[in-house]
Amino acid sequence: MENFIVSARKYRPATFKTVVGQNSITTTLKNAIKNNYLAHAYLFCGPRGVGKTTCARIFAKTINCKNLTETVEACNECESCKAFDSNRSFNIHELDAASNNSVEDIRNLIDQVRIPPQVGKYSIYIIDEVHMLSSQAFNAFLKTLEEPPAHAIFILATTEKHKIIPTILSRCQIFDFNRIKVDDTVQYLEHIAKSENINYEVDALNIIAQKADGAMRDALSIFDQVVSFSGSNITYQKVIENLNVLDYEYYFKLTDAFLKNDISTALLTFNEILDKGFDAHHFISGLSEHFRNLLVCKDEITLQLLEVGANIREKYKEQTKIISPEFIFQSLEISNKFDFGYRTSRNKRLHVELALVELCNITLEKKKSDSDNITESPEIKEKKKEVPKKDLIKPDDTDKSKSAGTDKLNIDIGKPKNIPSFSIKDKLASKKTEEENIEKTEDLNPELLSPVPDKDFSEIELIDKWQQFSEKQIDKPRIYNTLTLKDPKLEGKNIVTFEIDNKLQEEKINEIRNELIYFLKSELNNSTIDLKLIITELPDETKLYTVEEKYRHMLSKNEDLGKLKQEFNLDLD
């Protein structure tokens, strides 16, 4: 029986050309070899499984190749290349820093560096997971790394660049490897599947690539796992079943339920997902990702950000046609809010179900708001015709209105005017206010509808009404205290002046300014009343002196006081 070799080893790139997703780095390394611009130390950084060690091995092999091709690739025919391919090269040394991280290991390496290569031009030392070295080992390695022998080249690889001390970083050429794109991973998996005579669905390979999260080694390991499960025919359904991935169809189905305000379907679908063993937090995170995908589908420019298969991409395009951007934004906000609060929730299932209910209510609230914007009812129009009038004076009306005053409302009966048509964009709150004003107008006695002249009032009457208004503000302590601090004064016939101490009190009075003026106008039967706030400057307070300051002042008046203090060894108390 032939020994099985995992795909990550069997299809490991052997040339720069076969490295996936790192074109800028491979081009730079090839140019360095071609132009003989080789540095003495390189640092390869990046996530796991993106080709750091692979590129280091290819680079080391190509440097010592005696017959480079025109494309600056190793020939695979010279003695150095054959020795490397058969793992018997004496010029390329690999060290795992995770298990050889002590000072003694680095000292042994330093002793080995002094020995020139027997075959080839360079001795290359590949140190993997270099961030695992101890601080003492790093310090022991510094001098050699800064001034190595001419025949030595160091290639350091790490997944955690931030753990490497700055003095090491400054001595290396740093290459940052990228996460491999989903499309690049899918193309490489297609190449392997064809080489192994395996039938596949592109959507299935897309799921594998997304699950790998940018790591080619992980993608190849998952590919082997799926092949063991499904045999020589890889399908979308078998992949999501084997990898325990939530099917996209669930999210499309839930989105349709949200649009139809179908809470029952949403809750039952979530229950089905839980029955299949999926984690609720994984579900709510995936829901946010689904809404994000719908958002990027809204614009052809951002469509390239959608990393899914062709069939799933078409489904996203179809669903995004029936969804408004406002719905997507609200859905993203809700799903992210519940995703953030999931960990602190005690009842996890109820937490997610509440999110689904709230998502269903988005369309319900929109329908309700649309129904509120209706035309004015005939009853209101009839009431308007019965009592022709001008607008009532409200707290937010101008204080210098010339309309006549009444006990509670100031009404000026003029020539009846045509009532303008009601706009569909008027708010429900304004309609309710209008109806209330009409009802109040109908309740007024006929004699109150006649114009009433402004009435003069005294300062005593003003103070009495001021106190009445203050009592109504007792539930607002700061405003109440400010109003009752002093009595108002009457300036002329209609100007009410009130003294305050600071800007904070002025802000508090301004909060209820319109309401206060309206109250005084109504109670004192004078529509010309206005309020004037006066900030009075507080007199300078008597300065407090310390004991030392008092002593110095007394000493300036009588120098003998110092002698007295010194002679009797007195302290200042």
Nearest CA among 533, 540, 530, 521 for reference residue 482: 533
DSSP per position, 324-388: -HHHHHHHHHHHHHHHHTTTT-SSHHHHHHHHHHHHHHHHHHHHHHHHHS-PPPHHHHHHHHHS-
Judged against a pLDDT cut of 50, whether residue 421 lies above it is answered with no
Residue 410: the pLDDT is 44
Residue 91: the pLDDT is 84
Integer Cα distance of 427 and 414 in angstroms:
27
Residue 415: the pLDDT is 43
| 137 CB neighbour count, 10 Å cutoff | 20
**pLDDT tens-digit map of 154-211:** 999 999 989 888 888 988 999 999 988 888 899 999 999 998 888 988 888 988 998 8
Judged against a pLDDT cut of 80, whether residue 450 lies above it is answered with no
User: Where on the phi/psi map is residue 320: left (φ > 0), alpha (ψ -120 to 50), or beta?
Assistant: alpha
Q: Which fold has domain 180-241?
A: Helicase, Ruva Protein; domain 3 (1.10.8)
Amino acid letter at 132? M
Give CATH for domain 457-533: 3.30.300
5-174 belongs to CATH 3.40.50.300 = yes
Nearest CA among 290, 331, 278, 307 for reference residue 185: 307
Residue 537: the pLDDT is 61
**pLDDT tens-digit map of 93-121:** 888 888 888 888 888 888 888 888 877 78
Q: Which two tokens stand for residue 270?
A: 């979530």
Judged against a pLDDT cut of 60, whether residue 439 lies above it is answered with no
Place of tokens 């329908």: 367
Prediction pTM value: 0.58
Whether the Cβ atoms of residue 362 and residue 254 lie closer than 8 Å to each other: no
Integer Cα distance of 398 and 391 in angstroms:
12
Nearest CA among 60, 52, 57, 44 for reference residue 21: 52
The percent of residues above 90 in pLDDT, for the chain, comes to 17
**pLDDT tens-digit map of 513-564:** 898 898 888 888 888 888 888 887 655 555 567 777 787 888 888 878 888 8
Average pLDDT over residues 451-471: 82
Place of tokens 């790093």: 138
Judged against a pLDDT cut of 60, whether residue 146 lies above it is answered with yes
Q: Which residues pair with 176 in a beta bridge?
A: 45
pLDDT category at 454 given cuts 50, 70, 90 is: confident
Nearest CA among 477, 404, 480 for reference residue 444: 404
Q: How far is CA 284 from CA 62, 275, 332, 339, in A?
A: 49, 15, 11, 6
| 442 CB neighbour count, 10 Å cutoff | 10
Dihedral, 156, 159, 161, 162 alpha carbons, nearest 10: -150
Local structure of 270: helix, strand or coil:
helix
Judged against a pLDDT cut of 90, whether residue 45 lies above it is answered with yes
Residue 363: the pLDDT is 78
Judged against a pLDDT cut of 90, whether residue 55 lies above it is answered with yes
Integer Cα distance of 248 and 260 in angstroms:
19
* Segment of 143-147, 466-470, 560-564 carrying the highest mean pLDDT: 466-470
CATH 1.10.8.60 in the chain: give the residue spans.
180-241
Give CATH for domain 246-367: 1.20.272.10
Residue 539: the pLDDT is 55
Q: Which two tokens stand for residue 502?
A: 């600071």
Q: Considering the chain, what is the average pLDDT of its residues?
A: 80
Average pLDDT over residues 133-139: 86
DSSP per position, 516-549: HHHHHHHHHT-TT-EEEEEEPPPPPPPPP--HHH
Residue 452: the pLDDT is 55
Local structure of 176: helix, strand or coil:
strand
Greater confidence (311 vs 436) lies with 311
Local structure of 15: helix, strand or coil:
coil
CATH 1.20.272.10 in the chain: give the residue spans.
246-367
Residue 462: the pLDDT is 86
Q: How far is CA 227 from CA 20, 136, 230, 436, in A?
A: 22, 46, 5, 75
CATH 3.40.50.300 in the chain: give the residue spans.
5-174
The terminus-to-terminus CA distance of the chain in angstroms comes to: 101
pLDDT category at 221 given cuts 50, 70, 90 is: very high
CATH 3.30.300 in the chain: give the residue spans.
457-533
H/E stretch holding 126 reads strand 123-128
Integer Cα distance of 390 and 403 in angstroms:
9
**pLDDT tens-digit map of 308-334:** 877 888 888 888 888 888 999 999 999
pLDDT category at 391 given cuts 50, 70, 90 is: very low
Residue 82: the pLDDT is 85
